[in-house]
Amino acid sequence: MSILRPYQVEAAIELYNKKRVIIADGMGLGKCAEAISAKNLIEKKEGRDAKALIVCPPSTIPHWMNEIRKWYRKSGETSIVPIKTSTYNEDVERAKNADFTLVGYPTMSYFGKDRESIGKLEGIGFRYGILDEGHNARNPDSIRSGAVKSLFDSMDYLGILSGTIIPNSIVDIYMLLSLVDKENFKVPQENKKAVLSAFYNMFREDPECVRRILQEHLVNGHVRDVETYLHASVPKLNLGIIDIPLIGEHKEVYTQVYANDDIKPGAKLMQLVKASIDPNLVNPNILDAGLAAHIGKMDSVVFKTLDEIVQNTVDKNGKVLIFSGLKNGVTDKLQKRYEEYGALVIDGDTSSDIENGNASNRHSSFDSSIHSCGFRSEK
């Protein structure tokens, strides 16, 4: 039987006592176990069920299902229902009798403006909410954030899991605070910009105010790290930028796209992004006949540079994580390119065998120190 560590028990107890908290533990400390165990505690203390709703990235649903089976304690069989966009109504109906219901962020975005659909989910009577990767619901104007807030505001308990509680803008943190303290951080339907502006001005006048506010809602009042709580070291991120001058046909493709003023700005920007990574991703209809005929046969200078990084790292018995802003035409190509290393891909595509409670990710990793490289293309 799996046993919680003391700091994990502490997190579950704090969630039960405070009712709405931010669990900002570092990666590897077991935030999922803490959030799931809080449901055990709530039900034990109150002597009644606390139906739980988990909103998370869709690629993490199989992981959550495994963690629930591992950490949730119940005398009978645990019922877990993932809700998919394509079978929303049927899944919501089944979720009425579930211990845990899981919904991906894209589904929240899809049904966010449909009050009838969101109302069906609210009507189940969830008492405990878990918001995984909470920074995904940080924009008060977004459909996704509105749906999340509508669902969670009525719940008795809420655990927000996030390893990045301070986002790009200080204003982005307002929704996070609104979820854990809806009375003091309201999100009105009208004048949202005025509310956010007032919050920003408060921060500008007193930069320490956000830290003080967060301390009230964070487990233990601070972000807990692996080194302190597990007494283990983790790899340090070495961030560097590699300039890759484009040459040959790769440069020709990029230059032609850049010089083409017949493309709409948005489409042109996307084609330039593609051209900067791999010339074969560019729409051949916007290239001259000579280059268009070579689509699928050209070398990517970026991929060749990546080959060197991968090989050098593998030779040192390290590991490589490759992040790409593009999925189509990139993830499959890289998986094949590095198949000799046992490459795996995590691209958000998930398939689930809901009837049997099994889910599998189409995902990818390979043994190859961890690099984070930004690639900048030059004409």
Give one DSSP letter per residue of 154-189, joined into a string: T-SEEEEE-S--S-SSGGGGHHHHHHH-TTTS---S
146 and 212 co-located in one domain: yes
137 and 19 co-located in one domain: yes
> pLDDT tier at 165 (50, 70, 90 boundaries)?
low
Q: Is residue 131 in some structural domain?
A: yes
353 pLDDT exceeds 60?
no
- φ, ψ of residue 287 to 5 degrees: the values are -115, 160
Q: Which of 194, 209, 229 is the last residue of a domain?
A: 229
Interstrand relation of 157-161 and 371-378 (parallel, antiparallel or unpaired): unpaired
Q: Is residue 1 in some structural domain?
A: no
**Sign for the pseudo-dihedral over CA of 117, 123, 124, 128:** positive
Q: Is residue 68 in some structural domain?
A: yes
294 and 308 co-located in one domain: yes
Q: Pick the closest to residue 214 from 176, 167, 182, 168 (CA basis).
A: 176
41 and 180 co-located in one domain: yes
**Sign for the pseudo-dihedral over CA of 273, 277, 279, 282:** negative
Q: Where residue 141 sits, what CATH number does that domain have?
A: 3.40.50.10810
**Can you give the residue range of the structural domain that contains 28?**
6-229
80 and 175 co-located in one domain: yes
Q: Pick the closest to residue 29 from 46, 54, 11 (CA basis).
A: 11
Burial class, 331, CB count within 10 angstroms (exposed 0-12 / middle 13-18 / buried 19+) = buried
Q: Pick the closest to residue 246 from 286, 304, 297 (CA basis).
A: 304
Q: Which of 229, 253, 281 is the last residue of a domain?
A: 229
Q: 244 and 27 in contact (C-beta within 8 Å)?
A: no
Q: How many domains does the chain have?
A: 2
Q: Is residue 299 in some structural domain?
A: yes
Q: Is residue 335 in some structural domain?
A: yes
**Can you tell me the distance from the alpha carbon of 348 to that of 57, in angstroms, rounded to the nearest whole number?**
8
Q: Is residue 279 in some structural domain?
A: yes
200 and 265 co-located in one domain: no
DSSP state of 366: B
DSSP state of 320: B
221 and 347 co-located in one domain: no
287 and 218 co-located in one domain: no
244 and 225 co-located in one domain: no
90 pLDDT exceeds 60?
yes
**Contacts with 12 (C-beta within 8 Å, 6 or more apart), sequence order:** 4, 34, 37, 38, 40, 41
Whether the predicted model's global pTM rises above the 0.75 cut: no
pLDDT tens sequence across 11-51: 999 999 999 999 988 878 889 999 999 999 999 999 999 99
Q: Which of 229, 252, 268 is the last residue of a domain?
A: 229
Give pLDDT, residue 366.
38
DSSP state of 244: E
210 and 242 co-located in one domain: no
176 and 286 co-located in one domain: no
Give pLDDT, residue 97.
93
DSSP per residue over 69-85, as a string? HHH---SS---EEEE-S
Q: 137 and 153 in contact (C-beta within 8 Å)?
A: no
Question: Residue 236 corresponds to which tokens in the numbers above?
Answer: 């340090």
Q: Is residue 55 in some structural domain?
A: yes
User: Average pLDDT in the 265-294 region?
Assistant: 94
Q: What is the percent of the chain where pLDDT is above 70?
A: 86
220 and 108 co-located in one domain: yes
